[in-house]
Structure 1
Amino acid sequence: MTDMSPLDDYTVVDLSSGVAGGYCTHLLAGAGAVVVKVEPPEGDPLRRRSPSGTESPAGQDGALFQFLACSTQSVVADPDRGEDIGFVLDVIARADAVVWSPGSRLAALPELFPTALHERFPALDVLTLTPFGLDGPWAGRAASEFTLQAWAGAIGWRGLPGRPPVSVGGRVGEWMAGTFAATGLLASRRRRIADPGGQILDTSVLEAVALSLTNMHPVSYFAEAARPRDPAPMSLLPGVHATGDGWVGFMCGTGQQWLDFCVLVERFDWLDDETLIAQGERERRRDELTAHIDSWAAARTTAEILELAASLRVPAAPVGNGATISAIDHFVDQAMLVEAPRGGFLQPATPYRLHGKASLPPVEPPPALGEHTSDWRRRVADCRQDLDRARPPGPGGPLPFDDLRVVEMTAFWAGPSAAQFLGTHGAEVIKVESPARPDGMRALSLRPVDEDGWWEYGPLYHATNTNKLGLGLRLDRPRGLDLLVDLLDTSDVLIENFSPRVLDSWGLSADLLHQTNPGLILVRMPAFGLTGPWRDRTGFAQTMEQASGMAWVTGFPDGSPQVPSGVCDPLAGAHAAFALQVALAVRDRTGEGLLVEVPMVASALNATAEQLVEYTAHGVLAQRLGNRSPSAAPQNLYRSSDPGDGLGGPLVAVSVETDEQWDALATALGAPEWTRSPELATFPGRKAQEDVLDACLAAWCAERTVDEIVALLWGAGVPVGRVAMPHEPEPVQFDHRGFFESVEHPVEGSTVVAGSPVLFSRDRYPAHRRRAPMLGEHNRYVVNALLGMTADEYAGLEADGVIGRGVRTDG
């Protein structure tokens, strides 16, 4: 398959502007799709974005745009010319999908609005990216990622004791939204192949933020536990600490890892203190513990600490940033950072790899503004075609993956979320867990481990494993591995996120599995990759956030970097679901299965691309700014006059990103004296007086309630948001879109589970049609119905402990 790229039969017109749409089409173009970016004569605003948030010099495309626009085409059309609008519609008539977001003069045209495009081209998929979604009481309101984080509950819980809450830096929510969007678009593409007819795919950035930046389904936990999760682990201890030559980050996710860490930092007395196993107790004694950890780390280099940590299997990583990421040995060895096609700077490589006869196309340079306009004008002139105005088939057809059987061997959040996406859209997902060592999410139980059935009371397990069947299988017992291989012979996909050495120890290579099932797609999600210096290191989401630069830009300028704490799990899961669909596109055309490698850290590096490309292109190093922004002023959290409740309620987030928003803010405030300086009319002037503006705006907010502030500023068109807690986000918009769904469980009762940020207009099926399985609940179905074994054979397997329906600790 040397002359075919996976998506080279797929054409996408890009009417978006901004990071979310740019990363969505970047992923599609990287897999071979023909992406045609339609721009007004002044070009996409992203072309002019610079490290400081101001415009780049005339004629120079910013490094971030160059990265996102690799392998795409550019067509220019003037929205003031009717002829050009007709030309754009002719281009769209030849496409399979459109990606749309507000923010450009073209996107604002009535003829190019999503509903108008869907009406005119009913066979076309129209994917939209908006702050709140296309409908609902908040649709169309002003927002920035900062205020979306506030509304979603992604700020109120994050921070260090004694400091204000802090937002996640780097606009990670927009990168997440773009990934979710690309993944949803490919699912709809597969649906269209089986049952032609397009739809609107309505993507909400707010919901992407709520799903990924609020730490593992806090609404689900609150629904079952009737209390929020203890926020102490979110600040991490041990966390990020200064070394003799930089910063190093730790993540002790288990009791054993804490004990190993005590050995690492030479505090053997801590080993004997059983109370310190609990993160909450460590948090209570933060000052005492950090004093020693900081002193110990400062006396050693980052490299020395990482070597010691690896020998003790303590999860650790250097805290990377735009200046240091390119020198990290594993990234160099694995070519995770590559030279930009036009040279001049480094950029992240594609965040997944295909192993087999298929390959991804080489990365092409980004287009000059309007570079492909003449080609497309000739193309539409040479081949006129009538617009398809026939109505598409109604809902109720096949789901995108209802022809797939997926075997899932994953744990915690990243791997389960990838398989959950497939189950949401119709796949039969069989989750394989060992009764001796089930998914670690079950250990986060609301019941003590000495209570029978404790493993069925895990809210986070319930939230991440809907739409799956459960198989309890011991692979360390005779016949266990044989049963797994037999099941894989009847399946389409295997998803696993063990350490690479685990599958190796079982002899389950892709070559071996393809001997009996040549169409099997094997998706492997190791923390750092299948090869390289870090291959066998233990990795968590927090480790990826430290190494990739996410932690570097989160926190206050006078403090240590802080991990977002969790975002890299759903980020990796969404990338894995995207990469799997690229492999499916190959198999649908050739019948051949592939090995797909999706290192978690590669997804993180892509989501922090701006730090790397801006530093290597311009020498500008992104920094921690607390709740400020390089592209907004004023922007911060402000206390209202409401009484304090300890949960962040009295805080509001305000963000002014444009000159128009500044005018709206000044008008809403009654144009007080401090808003009237002519220098404040432009962003550089406001940025220069940021401290003064902060103080004045803080004084104004302190005299008003949150509700009063939000009503006045939002009504005027200023991005503003109440700082919610993650378990209690403002429900109005979420309820309208049905984002949270109630799910009944036979043991725990009712819980609430977050859905998908991408709503399909044609197929409005519930996201959670089946609750999470109990351990081994579907053993008989798998063994008897799928594998064709007899009742006596089943009984023998159960008696020998090969299969089971509960946790067993008897060896």
Structure 2
Amino acid sequence: MANDAAPVKFLRGINVLDISEGVAGPFCAKLLADMGADVIKVERPGSGDLMRHEGPFLNELSDLEMSPSFFFFNTGKRSIELDMYKEESKSTLHKLIQKFDVIISSDTDSTLSEHDLGFEFLRTINPKVILTTVTGFGSFGPRSHYQSSHLISCAVGGWAQLCGTPDREPLQAGARVTETLTGAYAAVATLLAVQGRNNHGNGEHVDVSAQQSVLAGAQMPTLFYEYQGLLPERYSSVGSGAGGAFMLPTNDGYIGLNALTAPQWVMLCDFLGRRDIAENPYYDGVSWRNPDHRIEEIRAIFQEALKDRTAEELFHEAAAWRVPFGLVPTLSDLFELPPHKERGFFTELVHPTAGPVAIPGVPFKTTAGEFEIRRPPLLGEHTDEILEEIAGTSGDVAAAASLKDVNDLPLSGLRVVDLSMFFAGPVGAQILADAGAEVIKVESVQRIDGWRGAGGESDSELPSWESSPYFNWVNRSKKDITLNLTDPRGQDILKELVRHADVVIENYTPRVMANFGLTYDVLKSIKPDLIMLSLSGFGAGNSWSDYTAFGMSTEQFSGLSHLTGYADDAPLFTGMTGGDLYSGLIGAWSLLSALNHRNLTGEGQHIDLSQIEACNLYLGDLMATWSLSEIDPGRMGNSRFSEIPQGIYPCANNRWIAISCATENQWDILMAELGVVDWKVSTVHDQIAAWTASKNHVELMDYLQALGIPAGAVMNGPELLADKHLMDTGAFILQDRPILGEKHYPGQPYHFKLAETVGNMRAPFLGEHTEEILLNLAGIAPELLKELYEDDVIGTIPIAAR
């Protein structure tokens, strides 16, 4: 696109009222603003959003316009000063509601209803309004009123149970990634509701839970227990992989050694000159699921091999072997990563008070044009112009007859061809499938989805490739066909499917689709309005484009690993599935935004998403902090930027509880419970631990929350599966798979009041729908099927298993 061309706005014409505070709601609104929506942020007169008071500030000088967190989470918005809960403000607020398409709140629907802002009342003012509520535990269920924080979400969502080392307390993930993750889910769910309204014309209440958002990323505790009866503990010093994955020191920093599959494990050992480890029966069965003393022996051996090497030379050499090593950059390092610089990922915004500030930009390129990210607003900067815009709006109550009680599924009628494998691409496609899209997953008998071989039941009568908890979770609601895309016949069939599709998703390195002869230009010539999403590790068009990446390495490259760990120790894995979920969710955000653009223009496009860019977006507030003040918090354990301590403390039966006071009043109540008058940072954690040590962690959570103290039990798999709040709010989806039987899988962490997501069709068997799709959609003659089977263009049994 020419430099002087107007920026593209995928969400132009969509008006958003952001009445939220904290992180998740504002991040949701920011993602909509960055795609071109007109977002108005409502702030308290005089003092503004609470985040404006959040440091760290440059030279410790507090200023309402200098908060790096506010800067990042509020780009592209306009600001109006308005006390929403005062009687004299109601007329103005009602006029805004009548004019706006979407309202984003960080309060539950019941809390909003106390102020005449609940969904049912909003519908009387604007029947087409979409209300998105983003809270710690959702708007419904027995714990909907509980207070939350990043630390608490890590605890109650299953991450803390996996993060850390077995000999120490559980840990929160670095940055505030649970809150940004929740915000990204909220943006996706809001766009689903927008797409649904485009189809049926009705409003919607979208309710998003931080606990369930974290649960979606920490499927391991629940799925391990469902499938194998295992209780995975903290293995974050090991990571997830076929034989183990490690972050180890080199002579100039840390490097991530990531072996996700058995062949990668052998290549990793070969690369380090230790094929003997891969071939030694003594190490058989060693993996992140069984991190016994042998893992530590392997760590020591690998450490010796790395000690005299630099991280960067190891990374590039391993890339030539197709082994996905990962650098572990600091915040300052991230600004200098070659792919980020070559793709122009970071954008510098000039603020009237803060000056130039560099932050993560849009993590994808598109053939539709370039985006413009605008600086955040000054407090009340747009009050007068907004009031003038709504001056002619009545704010009157709408006719009740226009209201509807049931909506169609948001993406009914949309068809998606899903070429992606493992997690990042499939989770994006799953979001579309759960919302009603027909998703056709394409594998081949030559190369099945790699997640079909991960973590299945060893004693199952099903073949191993049909009993993987991860594949079965992330591929529900999809159909499955097999096509050998190296065969011209397979390519031709794929092209015919594309002719009838709206979206194609793939997560190969850029060279692969070119090798298949299935580039965007080729597919566009068949279906001009096609939207194609490519999610490669490093994005296209840079010097690292053809390097292999997996979830663990993208988590390392994001900066999150650098920020996760004990303050006195090495970087750790967060304990979940690495960067894949973050990338897939951002991929869904980009796709849904592109669909809105196609609704407006009729234009398709190619989205070139970089997974390491997508993952870095989740800690953009810390990137802004570095840009403004060159402060890198590093690994903070369970601490945060606050004078009020927080932590995870031992309870009875080797269980744990997170306590995270947000205000001095909450802290005073806690100290009173402990009987502590004068507390000191050096001793108070021990005092809290002594008080919690004999108590049941769940009962203590409920007790503290009743006192108004934010707290969360550190939950494991069976506790999550049996949790009444999660059960009552439909957090799990029950699916019956032949032979395996019924299993519970985490559902989407958002719920539509008027149109629930589908999410009830079990994951497909390999090639289960091949004949149906080829005959009915691709138009293949029945007599050709036998030839295609015989030549392994299609099939139901992997060649490697014959």
TM-score, normalisation: structure 1: 0.92
Report the CA distance between 1:383 and its aligned residue.
Answer: 4.4
Secondary structure, counterpart of 2:71 in structure 1:
helix
Structure 1 partner of 2:753? 761
The one of 10, 26, 29 equivalent to 1:25 is 29
Do the aligned partners of 1:54 and 1:631 also contact (CA within 8 Å) in 2?
A: no
Partners of 2:220 and 2:161 lie apart in 1 by: 15
What secondary structure does 2:560 align onto?
coil
Stretch deviating more after TM superposition (557-566 or 78-87): 78-87
Structure 1 residue corresponding to 2:518, chosen from 508, 519, 522: 508
Q: CA deviation at 1:424?
A: 0.7
Comparing 443-452 and 767-776, the one that deviates more: 443-452
Match of 1:86 in 2: 91
Relative to structure 2, which stretch is displaced further, 480-489 or 454-463? 454-463
How many Å separate the matches in 1 of 2:706 and 2:606?
A: 52
Matches within 5 A, 1:675-690: 676-677=677-678, 689-690=680-681
- Identify the match of residue 64 of structure 1 among 65, 69, 87: 69
2:362 counterpart residue number: 350
AA at the equivalent of 1:718: I
Alpha carbons of 1:570 and 1:59: their partners in 2 closer, same or farther (altered >3 Å)? closer
- How far apart, CA to CA, are the structure 1 residues paired with 2:500 and 2:33? 32
**619, 626, 629: which one pairs with 1:618?**
629
* Partner Cα distance (1:430, 1:210) in 2: 26
Taking the aligned partners of 2:249 and 2:589, their CA distance within structure 1 comes to 37
Deviates more, 1:389-398 or 1:70-79: 389-398
Contact 1:52/1:631, CA 8 A, preserved across alignment:
no
Q: Distance in 1 between matches of 2:582 and 2:7?
A: 31
1:322 aligns with 2:331: yes
CA offset at residue 735 of structure 1?
0.7
Q: Distance in 2 between matches of 1:198 and 1:318?
A: 45
Following superposition, the deviation at residue 131 of structure 1 comes to 0.7
CA distance in 1: counterparts of 2:405 and 2:753, whole angstroms: 9
Partner of 1:15: 19
Decide whether the 8 Å contact of 1:632 with 1:656 is kept in 2. no
Shift of 1:255: 2.3
Contact 1:552/1:623, CA 8 A, preserved across alignment:
yes
Distance in 1, Cα, partners of 2:801 & 2:13:
54
Q: Quote the Cα distance in structure 2 between the aligned partners of 1:209 and 1:661.
A: 25
Equivalent position amino acid for 1:337 in 2: F
Residue in 2 that maps onto 1:577: 588
Give the partner amino acid of 2:479.
L
1:483 to 477, 482, 493: 493
Question: Deviation string for 1:632-652 (max 9, x for gaps)?
Answer: 633222222x234xxxxx222
Say if 1:734 and 1:354 are closer, same or farther in 2 by CA, change over 3 A: same
Any idea what the Cα deviations from partners look like across 1:271-330, whole Å, max 9, x if unmatched? Answer: 432554644377532333323333333312222222222222221122112222112222
When structure 1 is superposed on structure 2, of 534-543 and 560-569 the one drifting more is 560-569
1:143-194, Cα deviation, whole Å (9 max, x unpaired): 2221222122211222224333222121111111100100110111111111
Q: Is 2:424 aligned against 1:414? A: yes
SS at 1:149 equivalent: helix
Q: What's the counterpart of residue 274 of structure 2? A: 267
Partner of 1:683: none
Counterpart in 2 of 1:169? 174
TM-score of the pair, normalised by structure 2: 0.93
Whether the 8 Å contact between 1:656 and 1:719 is mirrored in structure 2 is yes
Conservation of the 8 A alpha-carbon contact between 2:162 and 2:233: no
Mapping for residues 282-321 of structure 1, pairs under 5 Å: 283-321=292-330
After TM superposition, the structure 1 = structure 2 runs for residues 576-725 of structure 1, keeping only pairs within 5 Å, are 576-631=587-642, 633-640=644-651, 642-644=652-654, 650-669=655-674, 672=675, 674=676, 676-677=677-678, 689-725=680-716
Distance 1:706 1:396 in 2: 40
Structure 2 unmatched ranges of 5 or more: none
In the TM superposition, what is the alpha-carbon distance from 1:395 to its structure 2 partner? 4.4
- Structure 1 residues 238 and 385, CA gap change in structure 2 (3 angstroms): closer
Question: Does residue 1:339 correspond to 2:343, yes or no?
Answer: no
Task: Give, in whole Å, the separation in 2 of the partners of 1:795 and 1:725.
Answer: 49
Per-residue CA distance 1:369-413 (angstroms, 9 max, x = gap): 111110111122244464424355534443211121110011111
**For the Cα contact (< 8 Å) 1:169–1:624, is it kept in 2?**
yes
Contact 1:16 1:107 in 2 (8 A): no
Aligned partner of 1:738 in structure 2 is 730
Does residue 243 of the first structure (1) align with residue 250 of the second (2)?
yes
Higher mean Cα deviation, 472-481 or 568-577?
472-481
Provide the C-alpha distance between the structure 1 equivalents of 2:283 and 2:460, rounded to a whole number of angstroms: 21
Matched to 2:780, the amino acid is M
Q: CA deviation at 1:552?
A: 1.1
- Write the distance in 2 (CA, Å) between the matches of 1:316 and 1:271: 18
* Pairwise CA distance, 1:447: 5.0
3-state SS of 2:533 partner: strand
Amino acid at match of 1:801: D
| 1:531 paired residue among 538, 541, 551 | 541
User: Residues 314 and 274 from structure 1, CA distance in 2 versus in 1: closer, same or farther, beyond 3 angstroms?
Assistant: farther
CA distance, structure 2, for counterparts of residue 562 and residue 512 of structure 1 = 43
Amino acid in the other structure paired with 2:230? R
Q: Which residues of structure 1 form unaligned runs of 5+?
A: 645-649, 681-688
TM-aligned CA distance change 1:805 to 1:269, over 3 Å: closer
Contact in 2 for aligned 1:224/1:750 (Cα 8 Å) = no
Cα distance in 2 for residues equivalent to 1:218 and 1:461: 15
* Alpha-carbon contact 2:98-2:125 (below 8 Å) kept: no
SS in 2 for 1:353: strand
Code of the aligned partner of 1:763: A
CA distance in 2 between counterparts of 1:118 and 1:283 reads: 57
Amino acid at match of 1:24: C
The one-letter amino acid of 1:156's match is Q
* Residue 35, structure 1, aligned to residue 39, structure 2: yes
1:140 aligned to 2:132? no
Equivalent position to 1:5, from 9, 20, 29: 9
* Inter-partner Cα distance in structure 2 for 1:429 and 1:151: 32
Work out the CA distance in 1 between the residues paired with 2:321 and 2:555: 21
CA RMSD of aligned residues (A): 2.6
* Cα deviations by residue, 1:528-555 (Å, 9 ceiling, x for unpaired): 1012122111111111111111111111
Question: Is residue 112 from structure 1 mapped to residue 117 from structure 2 by the alignment?
Answer: yes
CA deviation profile, 1:702-732 (whole Å, cap 9, x unmatched): 2433355334322101111222114532511
Shift of 1:780: 1.6
Provide the C-alpha distance between the structure 1 equivalents of 2:708 and 2:424, rounded to a whole number of angstroms: 37
Aligned to 2:765: 774
- What is the distance in 1 between the residues matched to 2:537 and 2:295? 29
Distance in 1 between residues matched to 2:213 and 2:629, nearest whole Å = 31
1:684 counterpart residue number: none
Taking the aligned partners of 1:108 and 1:665, their CA distance within structure 2 comes to 30
User: For the residues of structure 1 that align with 2:346 and 2:634, how far apart are their CA atoms?
Assistant: 21
Q: Give 3-state SS (helix, strand or coil) of 1:324's partner.
A: helix
Contact 2:507-2:535 at 8 Å conserved across structures: yes
Residue identity in the other structure for 1:734: L
* Aligned partners of 1:153 and 1:728 also within 8 Å: no
For 1:256, the equivalent position in structure 2 comes to 263
1:794 Cα deviation from its structure 2 partner: 2.1
Q: Deviations over 1:733-779 (max 9, x none)?
A: 111111112111123221111111111011135x4231111111111
Q: Percent identical across equivalent pairs? A: 29
**2:229 counterpart (226, 229, 237):** 226
Indicate if the aligned counterparts of 2:205 and 2:754 stay in contact, CA closer than 8 A.
Answer: yes
Go from structure 1 to structure 2 and tell me whether the alpha carbon gap of 1:83 and 1:248 turns closer, same or farther (over 3 Å shift).
same
Deviation at 1:35, TM superposition (A): 0.3
Counterpart in 1 of 2:201?
196
Aligned partners of 1:115, 1:510: CA distance in 2, in Å? 44
What amino acid sits opposite 1:594 in the alignment?
A: Q
